[in-house]
Amino acid sequence: MTRRAIELALWIAAGAVWGWAADHPGWVFAGALAGGLGWIILDGLRARQLLRWLAKGIPNESPRLPGLWGDLVDRTRKLIKKLDKKAQNSEARLDDFLAAIQASPNGVVLLDAAGRIEWANLTAASQLGFDPQRDLGQYVRNLVRHPAFVAYLNAGDFDREIQIDGPGPKPTQPTKILLQVHPYGKKRKLLLSRDVTAVQLAEAMRRDFVANVSHEIRTPLTVLSGFVETMQSIPLEEDERQRYLGLMSQQAQRMQVLVSDLLTLSRLEGSPAPGQGDWIDSDELLQHVLQEARGLSQTIADPPHVIDAESGRAFWVSGAKTELLSAMSNLMSNAVRYTPGGGQIRAGWRLHADGSGEFFVTDAGPGIAAEHLPRLTERFYRVDRSRSRETGGTGLGLAIVKHVAQRHGGRVDVQSELGRGSTFSISLPASRVRRQVA
C-alpha cells in the first residue's frame, strides 16, 4: 500500500507542477486533480488486465504489471499452479481408484438420486447387459428389466441381496447374478453385482457327486448285505456257498476300485502339477499299457481282442510316470471293456510337426453318439449306465484322464461315430516332448 500511495502522490504532484507551470490561478489544483484521476484510470486498466488474465486461467500468460499489481499477479500465478498440481494429483488418484474398480471381478454401478447411471465398470455392464459408455445417464430400471430387480428398487429395502438372470452364452443358459444396492451421499446409490453361476454350478456338481458316490457304493453294499444275511440264516451247500462268496468278493472289489479312483482324483486335484525334470521313454509307457490290456482282454473276453501297437518314432515324454500310466491304462481298459471279443484295438504315440506328442487308442466298439461327447469326462457320466456297470466301470476313468492331461498342460480329444468305433487321445505340449537322438 505504501508504494501505491507514493505513486499516487507523485501523479498528483506532477499534475500540480504542470498547473503551476501554466501560470494561471487555480490550475495548480486542477492539475493535481487531473494527476490523481490519471493515476486512477491507469490503475483501473492494470486491474482490468489482471481480471482478463484470471478469466483465461492460463498461468504462463500472466501480464507484466508494476507495483502491487505485479506482486498480486506473481502470487496469483503461484497459487494457480499449486491448485493445478493438487487437481492433477486428485485426478490421478481418482483415475487409479476407478482403474482398481474397473479391474474388480465384481460389477460396480454408480446411480444418481433419480436412478440414472453415472458410471459403471465393464464387469457390471457385461453381467447386466448394457453399454458402459453409450448408456450413461440412462435409468437403470429401463436397462435391467428383470421383475425382481424392479420390485427391489421400488421397495427400497436394500438390506438383502437378490438374484436375477443375466445374459448367458445361450438364451437357454442365463447366468446367475446377485445384486445389492447400497445408498450413499445425497440419495445416490451404489449397485454391486456378482456372478455366482460357477459357484452354483460347483454346488450342484458337489451334490451330484455325493449322490452318485452314495448310489455307486450302496448297490454293492446291498448285494453284500443280502448274501451275508442269506449265509447267516440259511444252510447252504458247499458249491452254493462258494458261488455266493465269489459274488461277494466281486462286489467288494468293485467298491475297492471305486474308492481307489476317488482317492486318485483327490490326489490329482490337491497336488501341484508335475515338473519337467523326469523324462520317460514313450515306447516304455506304451508297452506297459499294452501288456496290461492284453491281460485284461484274456480275462473278460472270449475270444480275446486283437491289440496292436501302431509303429511310430519313439520320443521322450516329461511328467509324472504314474499319472501318465494311469491315464493311458484307463483309455486302454475302456477300449477292452467296450469292444466285443475278438475286435481290434490299436494304440500308439504320434509326434506332430509342431513338436507336440499324442497318445491315442482306437477301438472297434459300438461308438458314441455326438450329444454325449462333450460330457464324457464328467465324473460318473455314463452313456449307458447298465452296460457300464456290467463292464465294471466306475464312471471316473475319463475324469482321471482329463485331470492328468490338464496337469501336464495337455488335453483329451474324442472322435467317435455310432457303429464305427471311437478314438481317444491325450495330447501333450511341445514343452513336454523331446525327440530321441539315434
- Residue 312 belongs to a domain: yes
- Is the pLDDT confidence value at 84 over 60? yes
- Residue 250 belongs to a domain: yes
- Is the pLDDT confidence value at 197 over 90? no
> CATH number, domain at 257?
1.10.287.130
For residues 138-154, average pLDDT: 91
In this structure, the answer to whether residues 139 and 226 fall within a common structural domain is: no
In this structure, the answer to whether residues 331 and 370 fall within a common structural domain is: yes
- Residue 398 belongs to a domain: yes
345-371 pLDDT, tens digit each = 999 999 998 989 999 999 988 888 888
Question: Rounded to 5 degrees, what angle do the CA atoms 160, 162, 163 make?
Answer: 155
CB-based burial, 261-292: b 16+ in 10 Å, e otherwise: bbebbeebeeeeebeeeebeebbebbebbbeb
12-25 pLDDT, tens digit each = 676 666 666 766 65
286-329 pLDDT, tens digit each = 999 999 999 988 888 888 999 999 877 788 999 989 999 999 99
Residue reference for cell 521313454 = 281
Q: How far apart are CA 65 and CA 43, in angstroms?
A: 10
pLDDT of res. 77: 74
Q: How far apart are CA 432 and CA 265, in angstroms?
A: 22
- Is the pLDDT confidence value at 162 over 80? yes
pLDDT of res. 311: 75
- Is the pLDDT confidence value at 194 over 60? yes
The band of 189, judged by pLDDT with boundaries at 50, 70 and 90, is very high
Look up residue 348 and give its amino acid: G
In this structure, the answer to whether residues 290 and 413 fall within a common structural domain is: yes
Backbone angles phi, psi at 192, to 5 degrees: -110, 135
- Is the pLDDT confidence value at 187 over 80? yes
- Residue 99 belongs to a domain: no
What would the grid cell of residue 136 be?
Answer: 450413461
pLDDT of res. 80: 74
Instruction: Among 179, 195, 211, identify where a domain stops.
Output: 195
130-141 pLDDT, tens digit each = 998 899 999 999
pLDDT of res. 335: 92
pLDDT of res. 5: 67
pLDDT of res. 388: 47
In this structure, the answer to whether residues 218 and 261 fall within a common structural domain is: yes
The band of 73, judged by pLDDT with boundaries at 50, 70 and 90, is low
In this structure, the answer to whether residues 113 and 232 fall within a common structural domain is: no
In this structure, the answer to whether residues 294 and 403 fall within a common structural domain is: yes
Average pLDDT, the chain: 82
The band of 6, judged by pLDDT with boundaries at 50, 70 and 90, is low
* Cα dihedral sign, 125-130-131-133: negative
The band of 261, judged by pLDDT with boundaries at 50, 70 and 90, is confident
In this structure, the answer to whether residues 296 and 398 fall within a common structural domain is: yes
- Residue 111 belongs to a domain: yes
pLDDT of res. 268: 81
Instruction: Among 145, 167, 195, identify where a domain stops.
Output: 195
Beta bridge partners of 110: 119, 190
Coil, strand or helix at 192:
strand
List all residues 6 or more positions away from 12 whose beta carbon is below 8 Å from its beta carbon. Answer: 32, 35, 36, 39
Instruction: Among 270, 300, 318, identify where a domain stops.
Output: 270
- Is the pLDDT confidence value at 424 over 90? yes
Start-to-end Cα distance in the chain: 100
List all residues 6 or more positions away from 430 whose beta carbon is below 8 Å from its beta carbon. Answer: 354, 355, 356
Question: Residue 321's domain spans which residues?
Answer: 279-435
Look up residue 238 and give its amino acid: E
**Percentage above 70 pLDDT, the chain:** 84
pLDDT of res. 110: 92
pLDDT of res. 90: 79
Number of domains in the chain: 4
Cα 118 off chain centre by: 26
- Residue 54 belongs to a domain: yes
In this structure, the answer to whether residues 156 and 58 fall within a common structural domain is: no
The band of 432, judged by pLDDT with boundaries at 50, 70 and 90, is very high
pLDDT of res. 191: 93
- Is the pLDDT confidence value at 170 over 90? no
Where helices occur in 112-237 by DSSP H, the ranges are: 122-128, 140-143, 147-155, 197-233
In this structure, the answer to whether residues 19 and 123 fall within a common structural domain is: no
In this structure, the answer to whether residues 114 and 224 fall within a common structural domain is: no
In this structure, the answer to whether residues 52 and 118 fall within a common structural domain is: no
Q: Select the more confidently predicted residue: 66 or 371.
A: 371
